[in-house]
Amino acid sequence: MMYKTRFNNKSSEKILLGFTFICVSVLITAYCMEHYFGILPCQMCLYERNVFMAVGAFSFLSFFLIPARLHSIALIILGFVFMGGAILAGYHVAVQQHWVALPSFCASNDFSALDSVESLREQMLQTPLVRCDQVTWSLFGLSLAAYNVILSFFLSITCWVWVAKKK
């Protein structure tokens, strides 16, 4: 009987594994760009990667641990996480375009409180190499953050449309 239930819900399993594959692909691409092509991420880029790590892990675990009848709930949750990732990436695009101020966690250049060479060294080691308002790579005029907005928004809508069609 369990086999029949799992067989009837193959589409929910395929979409969960598809999201896992997409997230792993995005992360592999990001790490390859960083380590092989020298395109360093800023702090916001690292936060955006965390969204894909979370979604990839959640969708993979949902495939194995959540019963098929609850896959719709998992997909609703994934839709919200993807939408959160789209909002974060959209904020990153706004920072890159100088529409909003650079967040303090992205680049701190205040060296006024430093009283020694050692404290200057520590500050420089903690300061990101890439500022969040710099576009380090673009294609057709869009930064990686802009592509992330598009992808995350599309994946979020995909989750919710799939759930709506299943009901």
Tens digit of pLDDT per residue, the chain (167 long)?
Answer: 444 444 344 587 888 888 999 999 999 999 998 889 888 888 888 899 999 999 999 998 888 887 878 888 889 999 999 999 999 999 988 988 888 877 777 765 555 555 666 766 676 666 556 777 777 877 788 888 899 999 999 999 998 988 888 76
Q: From CA 62, how far away is CA 78, in angstroms rounded?
A: 10
pLDDT at 55: 93
Per the CATH hierarchy, to which homologous superfamily does domain 11-103+130-166 belong?
DsbB-like (1.20.1550.10)
Cβ-proximal residues to 45 (8 Å cutoff; 6+ apart), any chain:
30, 92, 130, 132, 144, 145
DSSP letters of 53-96?
HHHHHHHHHHHHHS-GGGHHHHHHHHHHHHHHHHHHHHHHHHHH
Domain segments of the chain: what residues?
11-103+130-166
Please tell me the pTM assigned to this model. 0.76
SS3 label, residue 97: coil
SS3 label, residue 10: helix
pLDDT at 86: 95
Q: From CA 167, how far away is CA 163, in angstroms rounded?
A: 7
SS3 label, residue 132: coil
- Residue 31 identity (one-letter amino acid): Y
Q: What is the sign of the dihedral through the CA atoms of 84, 14, 25 and 158?
A: negative
pLDDT at 8: 44
Q: From CA 93, how far away is CA 99, in angstroms rounded?
A: 9
Nearest to 67 by CA among 5, 140, 136, 151: 5
